[in-house]
Amino acid sequence: MKRVVISLLGLMLFAGLTATASEAGKLLIWADDSRAPILVEVAKDFTAVYGVEAIVQEVSFGDIKSQLATAGPAGEGPDILLGPHDWLGELILNGLLEPIVLTPAQVEEFDPVAVDAFSWGNLLYGVPYATENVALIRNTDLVPEVPATFEELLTIAKGLTDLEAGKYGFLIQQPDPYHTFALYSAGGGYIFGEDEDGVLNPCDIGLDNEGSIAGATILDQMVKDGIEIAGAGYGEVVGAFSAGNLAMMIGGPWTLADVKAGGINYAVSAIPPIGGNAPGVFVGVQGFMVSAFSENKVLANLLIKDFLISSDVMLGLYIQGDRPPAYLPALGFLAGNPDIQGFAAAAATAIPMPKIPEMTSVWNAWSDALELIVNQEQDPTTAMQDAANEIRALLGCD
């Protein structure tokens, strides 16, 4: 019986693959479950105008990148896919993306940071639709005023923390370099340095420079003061905040749905200056890309340029994920929205998230270092030096 079931499943998989391959004269779009419904509507409009079938296939967010690598070259992949800009390096190195040509007038309609994020060399590989970065999110019932400095923030946090009652003042999810980067960047910490031409140099690693170690030391002190707690992952932090047990957190637009559902009065603002310096945060950009193995490149470009680049679609996508649109006309409609203003204030000193494939080793070595600091297994200086040396060794920079 088991064999029958397995072989039936195999056949279904096979049938499923053949039914949804990219084929000439039929567009296939890969998007995750939250964004697929909006694209289905766009696809219908496209079919009505051009008489060309456009199918939106739901692929879970974590699978899009890896499945494209195998499905694309086998002729089974999509024409259009949706994803963040930091996939770019790996996808381009694997020969999976096709450049997109926009007119200068079209480019001007987008946030320059977002266009920059989707550029590789002098070519554009994706049309951005949303920018995302972290900011300080606080419970306005517990912390009515934005702390003027990070030091003040920590003092307030310490006063609000009561571990025995399950009350927390301020948490940064750990081990998570992306959310912790503000501590590092304020003092001059960076991941990869740039050469004179503005090209990233993967061997100039700044994770053990003075600023980075200062940032790691702040985190270490937060743990010693009982503010930061081991085991505070995404679920724990957002859960505690949404339940009213956490006063302040560093979080992105994606947390807002839970926070709103918890009925919390909240406000979004820039992370206050650390040691007098405004901290930088990473900006991630989401966008539409065209597969290099698409057999419908002209149609795919047509769908993106004439149908997806519109305020209606961009605002629809905003409602799905609370991510500020990268399309300026759509962003204009939201100018009065306090959440958007808060994230924009935090992004004033933002740094685009590096998109070179070397980042995989950085994220892992760095989060290992953060975990060792939070667990108090290693002092911050040694942890960061070990992490930086690990990355240098992995990238062959010695």
Partner 1 sequence: MGPPDGRPLYPYMIWRYVAKHTAKIILLGTLVGASIYVSVFLLTKGMYIPAVMPLIGSGFISYIFLSQKRYPLRWLVPGVIFLTVMVVYPIGYTFVSSFTNVGTGHMLSKEQTIRQLLDRCYVPDAAVVYSYVAFANDDGNLALLLESESATILYVDGNAEELSLPDARLIDEDGDGEIDRYEDYARLSFMQLAQRVSEIEDFRIEYGGTTISLVNLHEFRTRSPLYAYDEEAETMTDQQTGVAYTAVDGIFTSESGEEIYPGYKVWTGLSNYLDLLRNPAVSRPFGKVFLWTIVFATLTLLLNFALGLATAVLLNDPFLRFRTLYRVLMIIPYALPAFVTILIWRGLLNTGFGTINQVLVSLFGAGARVPWLSNPWLAKLSVLLVNLWLGYPYMMIISLGALQSIPSTLYEAARVDGASWWQRFSRITLPLLLIPLGPLLVGSFAFNFNNFTLIWLLTEGRPPMLGTLTPAGETDILISYTYRLAFEGQRGNQLGLAAAVAVVIFIIIATISAINFRMTGALEELSKNV
Segment near partner 1 (CB under 8 A); pick from 109-117, 225-233, 249-257, 336-344: 225-233
Question: Is residue 214 at the binding interface for partner 1, with CB under 8 A as the rule?
Answer: no
The one-letter code for the residue type at 122 is N
Residues paired with 162 in a beta bridge: 167
Question: Is residue 149 at the binding interface for partner 1, with CB under 8 A as the rule?
Answer: no
Beta pairing class for 53-58 and 266-269: unpaired
Question: Is residue 358 at the binding interface for partner 1, with CB under 8 A as the rule?
Answer: yes
Question: Is residue 9 at the binding interface for partner 1, with CB under 8 A as the rule?
Answer: no
Q: Residue 352: what are its φ and ψ, rounded to 5°?
A: -60, 140
Question: Is residue 95 at the binding interface for partner 1, with CB under 8 A as the rule?
Answer: yes
- Shortest Å, Cβ 248 to partner 1: 16
Question: 376: which residues sit within 8 A by CB, 6+ positions away?
Answer: 220, 223, 224
Segment near partner 1 (CB under 8 A); pick from 54-62, 87-95, 143-151, 273-281: 87-95
**Sites for partner 1 among residues 45-64 (CB under 8 A):** 50-52
Question: Is residue 375 at the binding interface for partner 1, with CB under 8 A as the rule?
Answer: yes
If the CB atoms of residues 20 and 269 are measured against partner 1, the closer one turns out to be: 20
Question: Is residue 295 at the binding interface for partner 1, with CB under 8 A as the rule?
Answer: yes
Q: Binding partner 1 by CB under 8 A: which of 8, 12, 16, 25?
A: 25
Binding mask 101-140 for partner 1 (x = CB under 8 A): x---------------------------------------
Which residue's entry shows tokens 């929205």? Answer: 337
If the CB atoms of residues 79 and 111 are measured against partner 1, the closer one turns out to be: 79
Question: Is residue 394 at the binding interface for partner 1, with CB under 8 A as the rule?
Answer: yes
- Shortest Å, Cβ 338 to partner 1: 29
If the CB atoms of residues 72 and 252 are measured against partner 1, the closer one turns out to be: 72
The count of chain residues that interact with partner 1, using the rule CB under 8 A, is: 62
The 3-state secondary structure of the chain, one letter per residue = CHHHHHHHHHHHHHHHHHHCCCECCEEEEEECCCCHHHHHHHHHHHHHHHCCEEEEEECCHHHHHHHHHHHCCCCCCCCEEEEEHHHHHHHHHCCCEECCCCCHHHHCCECHHHHHHCEECCEECCEEEEEEECEEEEECCCCCCCCCCHHHHHHHHHHHCEHHHCEEEEECCCCCHHHHHHHHHHCCCCCEEECCCCCEEEEEECCCCHHHHHHHHHHHHHHHCCCCCCCCCHHHHHHHHHCCCEEEEEECHHHHHHHHHCCCCEEEECCCCECCECCCCEEEEEEEEEECCCCCHHHHHHHHHHHHCCHHHHHHHHHHHCCCECEHHHHHHCCCCHHHHHHHHHHHHCEECCCCCCHHHHHHHHHHHHHHHHCCCCCHHHHHHHHHHHHHHHCCCC
Question: Is residue 86 at the binding interface for partner 1, with CB under 8 A as the rule?
Answer: no
Segment near partner 1 (CB under 8 A); pick from 278-286, 310-318, 330-338, 362-370: 362-370
If the CB atoms of residues 240 and 267 are measured against partner 1, the closer one turns out to be: 240
If the CB atoms of residues 94 and 155 are measured against partner 1, the closer one turns out to be: 94
Question: Is residue 259 at the binding interface for partner 1, with CB under 8 A as the rule?
Answer: no
Segment near partner 1 (CB under 8 A); pick from 37-45, 72-80, 265-273, 343-351: 72-80
Q: Binding partner 1 by CB under 8 A: which of 45, 225, 258, 371?
A: 371
Contact set with partner 1 (CB under 8 A): 3, 6-7, 18, 24-25, 50-52, 69, 73-75, 89-90, 92-96, 101, 163-164, 166, 226, 229-233, 236, 240, 292, 295-299, 301-302, 356-358, 360-361, 363-365, 368-369, 371-372, 374-375, 377-378, 386, 389-390, 393-395
